[in-house]
Structure 1
């Protein structure tokens, strides 16, 4: 059997080992960071996050309205854009637009605000319930069909 000759060196790297970063490389890195940091802060001032506050508020209102319909014994609307709920406690609650808010009152008393900054609030009876349309002060329109269960 033929014997192979072992190589003396494991690594074939020609360069000599570097023990650490040089002062010049640290200085260049520091200058690059100091130049780009103010530019990055300047650019971030122009980034405007998208605000979904009104959309979340309207969706929360629709959830409140659905819960009121589910817990009431009877639901009906009138020509004045008011939705009435006959509660299990034999009280009557209604939801209406009052100035620029949508409020809920029980037996004509109280003032629980469900939604703010409203331009218009309309209720349309449909075959299985009510279609609610809301237009906000920003001009965005939201619609929801609420089913009445009996």
Structure 2
């Protein structure tokens, strides 16, 4: 077939070679469409959700690596302080005997002291509730209108807390 004196075959090859070829890219093109399709949206959303869902696990791993395994965890120490404060603010009689903290509450006697590498809580001399782990040494001192607690962890890190109460108490050293 002849169109204006040039064969159609030659004309098409001339038109196709006139436009520059696409440059090679360094990324893999999954779809050849020029627009953003719903499938691409779902794929991007899936990748984003996958990355965001793995973020808490990654942060938890970093926290575990940064804290030595035989040391007190900062959250554990804060929880211990809050528990002791809640117990002592309702206590009737607070005493420190032989480096153990004794107090009365609701006609029951309670004690907090070191047992091995833990600080434990006992009600009426029985039971064993662990309040704090990885403890090398614990010291309880009765101060005016309160108690001072010094805890040394297995990594020789010292923690202190001063708890004030407005209940009369006495110091007994046996």
- With the length of structure 1 as denominator, give the TM-score of the two structures: 0.65
User: Which residue of the partner structure matches residue 23 of structure 1?
Assistant: 24
User: Which residue of the partner structure matches residue 142 of structure 1?
Assistant: 159
Contact 1:75 1:148 in 2 (8 A): no
- The alignment of Structure 1 onto Structure 2 pairs a total of residues equal to 111
Correspondence 1:7-18 to 2 at 5 A: none
Q: CA deviation at 1:93?
A: 0.5
| Structure 1 residues 24 and 123: CA distance shift in structure 2, 3 A | same
Q: Give yes or no for the alignment of 1:63 onto 2:79.
A: no
User: Which residue of the partner structure matches residue 5 of structure 1?
Assistant: none
| Cα distance in 1, alignment partners of residues 25 and 79 from structure 2 | 59
Contact 1:130 1:146 in 2 (8 A): yes
96, 102, 105: which one aligns with 1:87: 105
- Of the two structures, which has the highest relative contact order with CA contacts closer than 8 Å and spacing of 6 or more? 2
84, 107, 115: which one aligns with 1:98: 115
Q: Give yes or no for the alignment of 1:73 onto 2:92.
A: yes
Q: CA deviation at 1:105?
A: 0.6
| Cα distance in 1, alignment partners of residues 67 and 105 from structure 2 | 36
Gapped runs of 5+ residues in structure 1? 1-20, 28-43
Q: CA deviation at 1:25?
A: 4.7
Gapped runs of 5+ residues in structure 2? 1-21, 29-57, 168-174
